[in-house]
Chains A and B, each alone.
Chain A
Amino acid sequence: MKYTEEHEWIRTEDDGTVVVGITNHAANELGDIVFIELPEEGDEMTKDDEVVVIESVKAASDILAPLDGEVVEVNSAIVDEPGKINEDAEGDGWFFRLKPADLAPMEEYMDEAGYKAFIG
């Protein structure tokens, strides 16, 4: 599992795809999440594009694409029940699965220890 400074996690799967979500820390900081807009299956995304909109009781936030790639699956369960993200942000609260076009940025991202140090 890798982590970005934008508080996303990226998990590489055996089939070469990656699953993306936000960290428990981020979900906790955002507060109760009430709305999420996900990309669509088949969408091509470019690293740092704003690809997800998430709204908590406090405010709206944009989530940036951590890698270039094609969206192969989205977690529609969290669209109907955004509270699932607060319950299990690093598990059932995942956002989308990506077929990455370029894994080079993964080298730059933090491991778990690095992320823990980053959030203090």
Chain B
Amino acid sequence: MSDLKRTGLFDLHVEHGAKMVPFAGYAMPVQYKPGVMKEHVHTRVAAGLFDVSHMGQVILRGEAPALALERLVPQALAGLGEGRQRYAFFTGEDGGILDDLMVANRGDHLFVVVNAACKDADIALMRAGLPDCEVEEITDRALLALQGPQAEAALAVIAPEAATMKFMDVAVLDSAFGPLWISRSGYTGEDGYEISVGDSQARALADTLLADDTVELIGLGARDSLRLEAGLCLYGNDIDTTTSPVEAALEWAVQKVRRNGGAREGGFPGAARILEEFETGTARRRVGLLPGTRAPMRAGTDLYATPENGEAIGHVTSGAYGPTLEAPVSMGYVAIEYAATGTQIYGEVRGKRLPVRVADMPFRPSTYKR
């Protein structure tokens, strides 16, 4: 663990009894004393505080940074309102997904949050692809996520205006901990916030939030089961360079203005394949999967059309026990003829083919404050 990077909240995690594990080059808390199940449930019924400082925070400045960034992603960013955020992904020339990210319009610049494992590549990609923009990696700010039904009340004590924000709004709010860069978003399916705070104030902000009885620290283990129940993709598992946006069922994240016939059609890497797939569909598709027994079907589980014989028709890319569903839950890719909701297929677990049903996502309705 000694060669791993640490976030500014490393000591906080250790003091709270975290089990630290390597994740994307960082020592990160996978769980605290209560354990994954209790942490998951706590986030759904109260509020969870996550250290996500390992993620990349980047500012893009230029004449028209939103229009410029459209050269690297299939999202409509030029029309994104000031104070609004949008989910996006970088695509490769072959139509695969290089990383997913959040893009916020903060008036005279964009604020971008990217995955930890991809941040160096993403920054290099933006520097190479956006010569008309200044790409500044923010390295002196921590990033906290506060998620769950009590998140609004807990943050209101520190930044009252945050309570008036809607899902995917962003704002810079003054506080006792300096300016907080806040978005009303997250990756758990819950209402909540992501909060960027200066490194020197991060510990004090975390301690203040944790002094609220409703707020508990939550590790990466519960973060994974929370996002899975919410049907959200984990980059590197459910989407990667080998999956296209249409295969990944992410059509909703590509606005019409960038599709065929749109005013700013194409013009992003892999557009030829991706736009064609909007017309023709794909041979496989990412789907939700609800196992028919209590046995979890984890990433790598092969999927079959029949209880015996035949070739695999897909595989699981994420799978875990869903503490809120009180049942195992998975997602994965299946051949398109098996992708309809309700289709009965089989997952091979320890040599046995167990029933699993294709299901709509999210598995549990999200509670975003729209």
Contact = CB atoms under 8 A, between A and B. Distances in A.
Interface string B279-306: 0000000000000001110100000000
A49 to B, nearest CB: 14
Contacts, number: 41
Per CB-CB distance, the 4 closest pairs between chain A and chain B, nearest first, are: A34-B321, A32-B37, A57-B36, A35-B294
B236 interface: no
Counting chain A residues whose Cβ lies within 8 A of the other chain, the interface size class is: 10 to 19
A53 B350 contact: yes
**B interface secondary structure, majority:** mixed
B70 to A, nearest CB: 40
Which among B38, B321, B350 has the highest number of chain A CB atoms within 10 Å?
A: B321
B295 A32 contact: no
Interface in B74-89: none
A35 B354 CA distance: 14
A57 B225 CA distance: 9
A34 B35 CA distance: 13
B327 to A, nearest CB: 9
Contacts of B112: none
A18 to B, nearest CB: 26
Contacts of A55: 295-296, 321
Given A55-B295, A57-B225, A32 B350 contact: no
Interface string B340-370: 0000000000100000000000000000000
Counting chain B residues whose Cβ lies within 8 A of the other chain, the interface size class is: 10 to 19
Given A31-B31, A34-B294, A58-B221, 14 more contacts: A31-B36, A31-B37, A32-B35, A32-B323, A34-B37, A34-B321, A35-B294, A35-B321, A57-B36, A57-B37, A57-B221, A57-B225, A58-B36, A82-B294
Interface in B225-271: 225
B261 to A, nearest CB: 46
Nearest to A50: B350
A35 B36 contact: no
Contacts of B321: 32, 34-35, 55, 57
Interface string B202-230: 00000000000000000001000100000
A37 interface: yes
B328 interface: yes
B18 interface: no
A57 B320 contact: yes
Contacts of A37: 295
A34 B221 contact: no
Contacts of A60: 296, 298, 350
Interface string A7-30: 000000000000000000000000
Nearest to A55: B296
A37 B296 CA distance: 12
Contacts of B350: 53, 60
Which among B38, B225, B350 has the highest number of chain A CB atoms within 10 Å?
A: B350
30 contacts: A31-B31, A31-B35, A31-B36, A31-B37, A32-B35, A32-B36, A32-B37, A32-B38, A32-B321, A32-B323, A34-B37, A34-B294, A34-B296, A34-B321, A34-B328, A35-B295, A35-B328, A53-B350, A55-B295, A55-B296, A55-B321, A57-B37, A57-B221, A57-B225, A57-B320, A57-B321, A58-B36, A58-B221, A60-B296, A79-B294
